[in-house]
Amino acid sequence: MPVRTCFACRASLDKHAMLRLVMDEAGVLWPDLRQRAPGRGTYLCMRKACLARMNDKRMRALSGKFPGVVADWSALCRRIADVLTRQVRDTARRLRAKAALGRDAVMQRMWNNTPLVVLLADDAGEALRRQVHDAVEKRRADAGRTILLRVPGDGWLAGVFDRGLLSVAALEASGQTAGMVENCVWLGRLKELGYI
């Protein structure tokens, strides 16, 4: 496994557990989720403790590696959030034929032992949130592998799955959903820290 060093906190981790950033000709850093973009890159570990210390001054440390880099942490956060959100949406759309959509379909899918990724809208009603959380905890207690992800509002889920109002959906956990889970976790950290 190739190891890379986070430019911000200097932690050495597997490169696939980090976000690669590449600089364009204008000196602007962009996220490279697939880690294949041409050019020299740098890595950001996306751990909460590291992100909490990020600012423009820390980004200026990149000027040795990237002369002319634009040190604007808030703008980079917006670009990262946009790319992560687009990737999550695209993955969910590719898998929508296999998705359980809506409360009843999700609850029914939770009865079997298939590992699941449950997408719950941030603006879902209190009763639905409680019901989904309880079902996920019960599955975990019964050794059912379930990952619960918070996604933007129900309008976001409705757009992804081409439905009217939709507050919850479930997908079978797979290699295809693993990246989506990681992207949602990273988005959640940025949101929790108030960067987006």
- Classify domain 91-192 at the CATH superfamily level: Ribosomal protein L30/S12 (3.30.1330.30)
What's the pLDDT at 51? Answer: 96
Give the residue with greater pLDDT, 112 vs 95: 95
Distance CA(19)–CA(13), nearest Å, equals: 11
The answer to whether residue 171 scores a pLDDT higher than 90 is yes
Question: Looking at residues 80-99, what average pLDDT do you find?
Answer: 93
Q: What is the 3-state secondary structure (H, E, C) of the chain?
A: CCEEEECCCCCEEEHHHCEEEEECCCCCEEEECCCCCCCCEEEECCCHHHHHCCCHHHHHHHHHCCCCCCCCHHHHHHHHHHHHHHHHHHHHHHCHHHCEECHHHHHHHHCCCCCEEEEEECCCCHHHHHHHHHHHHHHHHCCCCEEEEEECCHHHHHHHHCCCCCCEEEEECCHHHHHHHHHHHHHHHHHHCCCC
Q: How does pLDDT run across 74-87, given as a tens digit for each residue? A: 999 999 999 999 99
Domain locations in the chain as residue ranges? 3-71, 91-192
What rounded mean pLDDT belongs to the chain? 91
Is the overall model pTM greater than 0.75, yes or no? yes
The CATH fold assigned to 3-71 is Hypothetical Cytosolic Protein; Chain: A; (3.30.1230)
